[in-house]
A and B are shown apart, each in its own frame.
Chain A
Amino acid sequence: NAGVTQTPKFQVLKTGQSMTLQCAQDMNHNSMYWYRQDPGMGLRLIYYSASEGTTDKGEVPNGYNVSRLNKREFSLRLESAAPSQTSVYFCASSEAGGPGLAGYGEQFFGPGTRLTVL
């Protein structure tokens, strides 16, 4: 199993450009998440999808949109990139625990996308 995969690994954008970060998981998990990681701030939740067909805002949703394409795939879109969105983005999935889910459980993370907005 590949686990959680993300594309691309690196991306450089100019201010105002748009792009979509792709994420897929092969563990048949119901829930998927998008986080951003900034120095000294840990991981902050952008959006999550507790199940196929549903999406909800996390702690820092402004400037982003998401699509839960099917149970496997969860994409993150930046419509008009800003320098403040320079960060490392992680996708994760889980079967239990997390927002909207019963129980407690591990979140499985992808390798990340390093995004720079000039």
Chain B
Amino acid sequence: GENVEQHPSTLSVQEGDSAVIKCTYSDSASNYFPWYKQELGKGPQLIIDIRSNVGEKKDQRIAVTLNKTAKHFSLHITETQPEDSAVYFCAASQEGQNFVFGPGTRLSVLP
């Protein structure tokens, strides 16, 4: 079955700097890769997703890149702000299948 690894487990950046979180997956059939943000005391919320027919997707300060050959995808957050502090989860899936989530990355944006 699918296995998703995520690094780093914790990340601290200065406000205004960029943050990068990387995930690797094992099943080459996976073709949908969402990223969820979980704020303290809340449930995860989708922030961006990418399908395997594209290599990069951007939405304002966040972007996701996908390397199908290497089986890894990354979340990039530019110009970080205190409200970006949260736990971020990546996931891998294919149509009709369960989401397999990574273990999460706790991002702290320091003022």
Contact = CB atoms under 8 A, between A and B. Distances in A.
Contacts of A58: 98
Nearest to A45: B98
Interface residues of A, number: 26
Given A40-B103, A42-B89, A43-B89, A104 B95 contact: yes
Interface stretch (B42-50, B62-70, B71-79): B42-50
B32 A97 contact: yes
Contact of A42 (B41, B43, B103): B103
A92 B43 CA distance: 9
A97 B44 contact: no
B97 interface: yes
A3 to B, nearest CB: 9
A90 B44 contact: yes
A26 interface: no
Contacts of B98: 45, 48, 58-59, 98-99
* Interface SS majority for chain A: loop
A41 interface: yes
A98 B99 contact: yes
A99 B2 CA distance: 14
Contacts of B111: none
Nearest to A96: B95
Interface of A: 4, 40-45, 48, 58-59, 90, 92, 97-104, 106-107, 109-112
24 contacts: A40-B104, A42-B4, A42-B104, A43-B89, A45-B99, A58-B98, A90-B44, A97-B32, A97-B93, A97-B95, A98-B93, A98-B96, A100-B96, A101-B96, A102-B95, A104-B49, A104-B93, A106-B46, A106-B49, A109-B36, A109-B45, A110-B43, A112-B42, A112-B43
The 9 A-B pairs with the shortest beta carbon distances in the complex, nearest first, are A109-B43, A42-B101, A43-B101, A106-B46, A42-B103, A104-B32, A109-B44, A99-B98, A40-B103
